[in-house]
Amino acid sequence: MAEVSPISPLIHPKGSAAMLEDILITSELTCRRPSAPNYASENCAPAALAREMAVNPCNLLQALVDKAVDLCRAGTAGISVLKTDPDGEYLAWEALSGVYAPYIRSRTPRHFSPCGTTLDRNAPQLFSHPARYFTYFAQAEVPIVEGLVIPVYVSGRPPRTMWIMAHDETRHFDVEDVCLMTSLAAFASAGLQVVSVMEAETQANQVWCTREAPRQVSVYEHMAAAGSQERPAGAARRTGEWQFQRLLEKLPAAAYTCDPDGLITYFNPQAVKFWGRAPKLHDPVDRFCGSFKLFATDGASIAHDACWMALALKMNQEYNGHEIIIERSDGQRLTALAYANPVHDEAGTLLGAVNVLVDITERKQAEEQLQASLHEKEVLLKEIHYRVKNNLQVIASLLYLQSDYLKDPEDVALYEDTQNAVKSMALVHESLSRTGDLAHFNFAHYIESSTTHLFQSHVAEGSRISLDMELDKIAFDVDTAVPCGLILNEILTNALKYVFPDDRSGNIHLTLRAAAEQVTLSVRDTGIGFPAGFDFHNTESLGLQLVGMMTEQLGGTLTLTRGGGTTFTVRIPYGTR
């Protein structure tokens, strides 16, 4: 890692132009649409951190900030601890990951920093471009766009903060990030508490690790101790077993160990809570798992000797992140992610296995509720399209009934045109109710059904007017689709009604092309064409006026080319609206 000068509050590149209120935007968190939770990564995090706690607790804070960068898609993550020197209180950056990792020795003042402000308010805080107020951040090469800070309190330890930064203008933190950071902060708190207790108790035994020379407490030591019938000799081994149990006890997840025969050798208090019972140790009645019953996610019953722990021992391989459902004796079912890992001694002999069960029952329920709610919305949306379509049919029927009272065929034709325009809009809703996606309306599909409808309406059976189409698959939003549908309806209606008089044969060629930021809709006919001197910009034809209006509404252009018939070309912006 490249060495850089630490950020120092003593260097003020420029005076602060903003007020604290200008950069503190915590209230925005509730207004932002939360990003979709990444349950898979999120669920893996506790197990990965638990392993870190078991193997190398001194590295837990670094593991936490690494995880924070990963899970929150942050530019930088860090943990600050409150310290005091003769100049006063300050927050030292004790673990860093990401863009600002080289600034590991930096510090910020207790009473003039985002971390200090967060400790004052004792709640998560969101900052926008904090360098506008905390001007010392301007020393850093990469600016901070947003900073989310979470307070971390551990009994008997100085307060800390855990934080993430975004350096990218497009990344904005939301409540989902607050949830993730709060979970990670809880881990930090639990981990620091464990280290605290260990430090205090092992200082007397003179065997505990220091930060400079961390002593790795391995699962191996515990398994070796637990697997043997005799208590292992030697202070180190006893200490290893004791430390490992301490760690597992503090884990915010159920954890237990088995010997190679599947007999349970240890379980933590969270396992008792999760199983709803405390199995006897080394008892063949409870082999591989202390739960009452086990089920797969499809509801099929799983025998204890086929659970993930049993497989880890029998197959001598890891099974991580697999879902399992446990049933307590009172019938209550809980879902967990199992992390079953075999443990070996240095010679590779299987000593047993450790299984960490992360309770995801609440998440599963929330996920199911979310799915149900989504389904309900989809049904509702389809029902709305159905009703709109039905109402448009009512309008078309009304126009038909009214046209019955008209005597002049030209008036009747006008009514028919209006009916077709209404039906053209109804067809948009027909297509939408099929896809249910307002943002991605398949316009090529619409053209296919719309042209069939118009040909049925205007062209007598046996007519010699042919149609061919070259359509790119283009997704429009509904605001573009409706006017575009009307444009197509008017141009095609005009062609079918007027350009092939006296049963003339001919062809209509329709193309829809997408190029860079532009869609081109072109309708070319081989009919008689418009009379010389015809100005379609100043026409009395309502249909062509509508084409002009709709094109203008879409911010597009309309051109008419004569010669061997007529070609209408409509170009509209695409992907930039």
Partner 1 sequence: MPPAQILIVEDERIIAAELTRRITRLGYVVVATVGSGAEAIERARVSCPDLVLMDVGLPGEMDGLEAGARIWEEFKIPIVYVTAYAHEQTMAQARTPQPVLAVRKPFDVSQLRHTLEQALAAPR
- For residue 116, count CB atoms less than 10 angstroms from its CB and return exposed for 0-12, middle for 13-18, buried for 19 or more: buried
- Residue closer to partner 1 (CB basis): 404 or 540: 404
Q: Least distance in Å: CB of 460 to partner 1?
A: 9
> Which single residue is written with the structure tokens 């060629």?
509
**Cβ at position 397, least distance to partner 1 in Å:** 4
If the CB atoms of residues 135 and 493 are measured against partner 1, the closer one turns out to be 493
One-character DSSP codes across 84-113: EETTEEEEEEEEEEETTGGGTT-EEETTSS
User: Binding partner 1 by CB under 8 A: which of 56, 193, 433, 507?
Assistant: 433
- Strand pairing partners for 264? 258
Residue nearer to partner 1 on the CB measure, 184 or 426 = 426
Which residues inside 343-382 make contact with partner 1, applying CB under 8 A? 382
The pair phi, psi for residue 121, each rounded to 5°, is -90, -10
Helix or strand run (H / E) with residue 224: helix 219-227
Burial class (CB in 10 A: 0-12, 13-18, 19+), 336: buried
Query: Binding of partner 1 at residue 434 (CB under 8 A)?
Result: yes
Least distance (Å) between residue 413 CB and partner 1: 15
The minimum distance between CB 514 and partner 1, in angstroms, equals 25
How near is the Cβ of 392 to partner 1 at its closest, in Å?
6
Q: Is 540 in the site for partner 1 (CB under 8 A)?
A: no
Nearer Cβ to partner 1, position 74 or 392?
Answer: 392
Please identify, using beta-carbon distances, which residue of 333 and 434 lies nearer to partner 1: 434
Find the part of the chain contacting partner 1 (CB under 8 A) among 268-276, 309-317, 455-463, 535-543: 455-463
Q: How far is the CB of 368 from partner 1 (least distance, A)?
A: 23
Closer CB to partner 1, 400 or 498, in the complex: 400
Q: Is there binding between residue 430 and partner 1 (CB under 8 A)?
A: yes
Q: CB under 8 A: which stretch of 147-155, 194-202, 366-374, 427-435 binds partner 1? A: 427-435
Please report whether residue 427 would count as binding partner 1 according to CB under 8 A: yes
Q: Is 208 helix (H, G, I), strand (E, B) or coil?
A: coil
CB under 8 A: which stretch of 198-206, 277-285, 422-430, 538-546 binds partner 1?
422-430
In this structure, are residues 436 and 382 in contact, taking their beta carbons and an 8 Å threshold?
yes
Give the span between the Cα atoms of 309 and 318, in whole angstroms: 9
Q: Which of residues 376-415 bind partner 1 (CB under 8 A)?
A: 382, 385-386, 389-390, 392-394, 396-398, 400-401, 404
Rule CB under 8 A: say whether 463 interacts with partner 1.
no
Question: What DSSP element (H or E) covers 126?
Answer: strand 125-128
Q: Which is nearer to partner 1, 293 or 382 (CB)?
A: 382
* C-alpha dihedral sign at 262, 266, 270, 275: positive
Find the shortest distance in angstroms from Cβ 260 to partner 1. 54
Q: What is the DSSP string of 373-396?
A: HHHHHHHHHHHHHHHHHHHHHHHH
**470: which 2 tokens?**
């070259």
Q: How far is the CB of 474 from partner 1 (least distance, A)?
A: 20
Residues 127-166 vs partner 1: string with x where CB under 8 A?
----------------------------------------
Which position among 54, 69, 219, 422 is part of the footprint of partner 1 (CB under 8 A)?
422
Number of residues that bind partner 1 (CB under 8 A): 26
Q: Residue 422 or residue 491: which is nearer to partner 1 going by CB?
A: 422
What is the side-by-side order of every strand in the sheet holding 557-562? 465-471, 506-515, 518-525, 566-573, 557-562
Q: For partner 1, which is the closer residue by CB, 431 or 551?
A: 431
Whose tokens are 């930064």? That residue is 165
CB of 400 to partner 1, least distance (A): 5
With CB under 8 A as the contact rule, the residue among 453, 497, 509, 513 that binds partner 1 is: 453
Of 423, 512, 543, 574, the one binding partner 1 by CB under 8 A? 423
> Cα separations (Å) of 497 from 362, 503, 565?
63, 11, 14
Least separation in angstroms between residue 422's CB and partner 1 is: 7
CB-nearer residue toward partner 1: 398 or 406: 398
| Interaction between residue 431 and partner 1 (CB under 8 A) | yes
> 127 vs 15, 51, 557, CA distance in Å?
18, 33, 45
Q: Which residues have C-beta within 8 Å of that of residue 332, sequence separation ≥ 6?
A: 276
Token pair of 332, please?
């209550």
Choice between 142 and 394, CB closer to partner 1: 394
Nearest approach, Cβ of residue 269 and partner 1 (Å) = 51
Q: Is 469 in the site for partner 1 (CB under 8 A)?
A: no
The full 3-state SS of 170-184, as one line of letters, equals CCCCCHHHHHHHHHH
Q: Which of 48, 52, 64 lies closest to 187, judged by CA?
A: 64
Distance of closest approach, residue 425 Cβ to partner 1, in angstroms: 9
Phi-psi region of 10 (alpha: psi -120 to 50; beta: other; left: phi over 0): alpha
Which span sits near partner 1 by CB under 8 A: 115-123, 186-194, 426-434, 554-562?
Answer: 426-434
Nearest partner of 124 among 70, 193, 186, judged by Cα: 186
Only one residue has tokens 């209408």, namely 568
Q: Nearest CA to 557 among 476, 508, 487, 472?
A: 487
DSSP 8-state code for residue 68: H
CB of 457 to partner 1, least distance (A): 5
Considering the complex, state which of residue 154 and residue 478 has its C-beta at the smaller distance from partner 1: 478
* Amino acid identity, position 222: H
Provide, rounded to whole angstroms, the least separation between the CB of residue 379 and partner 1. Answer: 11
> Buried (b) or exposed (e) across 491-516, using 16+ Cβ within 10 A?
bbbbbbeebbeeeeebebbbbbeeee
Give residues 257-316 in contact with partner 1 (rule: CB under 8 A): none
Binding site for partner 1 (CB under 8 A): 382, 385-386, 389-390, 392-394, 396-398, 400-401, 404, 422-423, 426-427, 430-431, 433-434, 453, 456-457, 461
